[in-house]
Structure 1
Amino acid sequence: MLASVKGHCDAILASLPAQRLLALDALRGLTITAMILVNNPGSWSHVYGPLRHAEWHGWTLTDLIFPFFIVIVGISLQFSLQRQSSQGQHSQGQKSQANWQVIRHAAVRSAKLFGLGLFLALFYYNFADPAYSYLEQKLLTLRWLGVLQRIGLVYFATVLIVLYCGSRGRIAWLTGLCLVYLLGMLYLPYQDSQGNTFSGLLLFGNSFAAWLDHTLLGVNHLYYRTATPFAFDPEGIWSTLPAIASCLSGVLLAQWLQTERSLAHKIRGLLLAGVIAVWLAELWHFSLPINKSLWTPSFVLLSTGYCAIALAACIWLCDIKRWRRWSAPFVVFGANAILFFMLAGIMARALVMIPVGDGLLKGWLFNRLFQPLFGNLNGSLAFALVFLGLSYLLMHWCYRKGYIFKV
């Protein structure tokens, strides 16, 4: 059994191109695996604390997952653009043409990501309710923003900045985006429907970001529709600015890895930068709360710091110690991260669409199988782990067949 597992892992790793950074593939896979794990408990009423998001200010391990993915997008983007640049020197006119091609490709990719996000938002029908109206309860209340939509918007903005700015310009953009975000959140006044004026608040349903979502997108198209006095979205309009800063931080981490320094020196640099960033973020938390839903700059600093530490750990394991087999399953998930996210989203929605008895398939499985065997919390976690296991079988089949879903 152990020999077959080792052979399975070795076969996956042997298929990777020699020049790929295994640590980055492993971290991407770990991140998307964690995202699917926390998104699919057996019951939302029974979830261990670290697998939940913080209620408002503060953070849990779950809050780090999405920003990790955003930072990794930035790292991958820098590596990709650097490879394209190293393939040949261009004249000024050729460089402009090449940049335009990159921008056009990025625009198409971003539009696809946005469209896939909308598809997931629309992929639901309540078959258990004969009175359910898809038009009124889904189409007319479509949530415009979400995880994939944010990735698309952030990716496109980051491509533009990276193409036309050097290192100093990228740092300036990162800092400037966070500063503009803060100025809006702390100083721009806004009013509710009763004429009350607010400014500088970072409350659930009462902030400049919430007011902007409420005003521009409308109550019925936001995630937190019942929040008062303003409905808002955790992937909302204003918080996209610091999310772009998170992606730019990934670009800067990739630039550090592309230097001519030794691998050990790069690892020490990542660790040092990560520890300092986390320490500063925790100190900043006393005046500017760490908050994922608002994506505050202190949250940018914290999540980027921990991502740098995690990347350093993966590089140390994979390239210094040469302990690589553990990464193989995550390589499978990470190689097809968007497809994994889409298929997991479709399967999860199907489980709450199919009626069984007086309830739905997911509830039936949890109440009849997982909860009696493992209890409430462990049963809910076991459901998520089985969901991951079945997903792996499907994703490994795609990986073995060479089917990589490229947006």
Structure 2
Amino acid sequence: MSPTTLNAPNRLLSIDQLRGYAIFGMILVNSKGMFGVKIEQLSHFKDHFTYADTIAPIFMFVVGISMRLSWLRRSEVTGITATRIAMVKRFTTLVLIAFVIYMGWLWDALMDIGLAGLLAVMFIDKSPKVRAIAACSMALLYQALVSFTVYGPWIMRTGDLTDENLPYLFKWIPYQSTLFDVRINGGPFGPLSWCFILLLGTIAYDIMKSNDRQRIVTYCLSLGIGLCAAGWALSMPWGDVKPLWPITAYHMTLPFPLWSTGLCFLTLLAFYFLCDVGGIRIPTFTSVSMNALFIYIVQCVISETEAPKEIITKSFEWIQKPLVESNPSLDVPLGICGILAYYGLLAALAYVLHRKKIYIKV
């Protein structure tokens, strides 16, 4: 989806490394169950923010960065219409893949990336101001749906969608149990909120491509701190105006996209100093980033398919059980080692693909 040209924007190491870090984080969070790791910070909660909640926003943020980069590269070669059609096809493909992988757990990363990407396609060529307005409008629309319709009580888990309170539009949609029984990442309207993060990622690329250190530091710091402050302020109860809005991916209300996008800008700035300024390259992250979505899909298939998941779990238990029985304190360290070994195998696959210059664009 991103053919190179002589006039293509320079590739930034920090962006590749950040994308690789996001995949590492997703594998860390998604595979913990296979290795019996029970650490609160690696799980999602309905009432507070954890490390696990930072990862999907970073990945969505980097999707926005890549989307803007891809647009600038490809539109010069094939034109605006052809590029927009190609992007629609790509994000539609992700939605279809998500339907296959996530049946019974539909509203997860690939689905949200696909739908948020489709929402963002119409704005990708606009000015940063227009993209920022579009991002805020979508986040506000989602908040309005939560605050003023029956969707709010359902997504907040204070009520269920039943035949009596199901919106008329929803009654005409098939597969209601699959679409509406899963309550994470904002459910079927969650992509509106996720699109805020993606569109802010497109703006991040506009900042980064300048290669102006003062501009990058100023904008990333101000947007990072400002968005975090806004998210925290909106999460607090305002007397009789509004109750506490937890910063959580379960709800996806305004505090979450604001707070998490602020962290995305600050994390991007950290990688900018580490990689682009300091010249430090974290092993495996760059090669993993070259086939990021493919590696993510592979680990999803493994973790969601009974046979390979059971093979990994049973094999690990065979190694872990005798060691833990003699020394229970080894339980968590061994689990972490198992996750890192699992990541290492996926990273090795990514490395081989990278060395052979095989880039699978999903």
TM class by smaller structure:
0.7 to 0.9
Q: Is the 8 A contact 1:38 1:62 kept in 2?
A: yes
Shift of 1:145: 4.2
Cα distance in 1 between the residues matched to 2:133 and 2:281 = 40
Kindly report which structure 2 residues correspond to 1:204-283, keeping only aligned pairs within 5 A, or say none: 204=157, 206=159, 216=173, 218-222=175-179, 225=181, 232-234=183-185, 236-259=187-210, 262-283=212-233
Residue 167 of structure 1 pairs with residue 128 of structure 2? yes
Q: Is the 8 A contact 2:35 2:339 kept in 1?
A: no
Please state whether the residue corresponding to 2:188 is helix, strand or coil: coil
Q: Is the 8 A contact 2:220 2:269 kept in 1?
A: yes
Q: Is the 8 A contact 2:22 2:58 kept in 1?
A: yes
Cα distance in 1 between the residues matched to 2:281 and 2:82 = 38
Pick the aligned partner of 1:37 from 28, 32, 36.
28
Cα distance in 1 between the residues matched to 2:300 and 2:60 = 19
Aligned amino acid, residue 105 of structure 1: A
Q: 1:270-305 deviations in whole A, cap 9, x for unaligned?
A: 123212221221222113321212222211111111
User: Normalization by structure 2: what TM-score?
Assistant: 0.83
User: How large is the RMSD of aligned CA atoms in angstroms?
Assistant: 2.9
Would you say how many aligned residue pairs link Structure 1 and Structure 2? 338
Q: Which residue of 2 aligns with 1:8?
A: none
Residue 391 of structure 1 pairs with residue 352 of structure 2? no
Please state whether the residue corresponding to 1:56 is helix, strand or coil: coil
Shift of 1:202: 5.8
Q: Which residue of 2 aligns with 1:127?
A: none
Q: Percent identity among equivalent residues?
A: 22
Q: Is the 8 A contact 1:41 1:47 kept in 2?
A: yes
Kindly report which structure 2 residues correspond to 1:293-372, keeping only aligned pairs within 5 A, or say none: 293-322=250-279, 324-326=280-282, 328-350=283-305, 352-353=306-307, 360-372=310-322
Cα distance in 2 between the residues matched to 1:376 and 1:56 = 27
Aligned amino acid, residue 177 of structure 2: N
User: Normalization by structure 1: what TM-score?
Assistant: 0.75
Q: Is the 8 A contact 1:242 1:296 kept in 2?
A: yes
Q: Is the 8 A contact 1:205 1:232 kept in 2?
A: no
User: Can you give the 5+ residue segments of structure 1 that lack an aligned partner in the other structure?
Assistant: 1-16, 89-96, 123-141, 191-198, 226-230
- The answer to which of 246-255 and 38-47 deviates more is 38-47
Shift of 1:377: 2.2
Pick the aligned partner of 2:11 from 17, 20, 24.
20
- The answer to which of 379-388 and 241-250 deviates more is 379-388
Please state whether the residue corresponding to 1:206 is helix, strand or coil: coil
Q: Flag the 1:59–1:44 CA change in 2: closer, same or farther, 3 A.
A: farther
Shift of 1:149: 1.9
Q: Flag the 1:377–1:43 CA change in 2: closer, same or farther, 3 A.
A: farther
Q: Which residue of 1 aligns with 2:48?
A: 58
**Where does structure 1 differ by over 4 angstroms across 4 or more consecutive aligned residues?**
42-45, 142-145, 199-202, 210-219
Q: Is the 8 A contact 1:78 1:254 kept in 2?
A: yes
Shift of 1:217: 5.7
Q: Is the 8 A contact 2:107 2:187 kept in 1?
A: yes
User: Can you give the 5+ residue segments of structure 2 that lack an aligned partner in the other structure?
Assistant: 1-7, 238-244, 325-329
Please state whether the residue corresponding to 1:237 is helix, strand or coil: helix
Residue 382 of structure 1 pairs with residue 332 of structure 2? no
Aligned amino acid, residue 52 of structure 1: S
Cα distance in 2 between the residues matched to 1:50 and 1:67 = 16
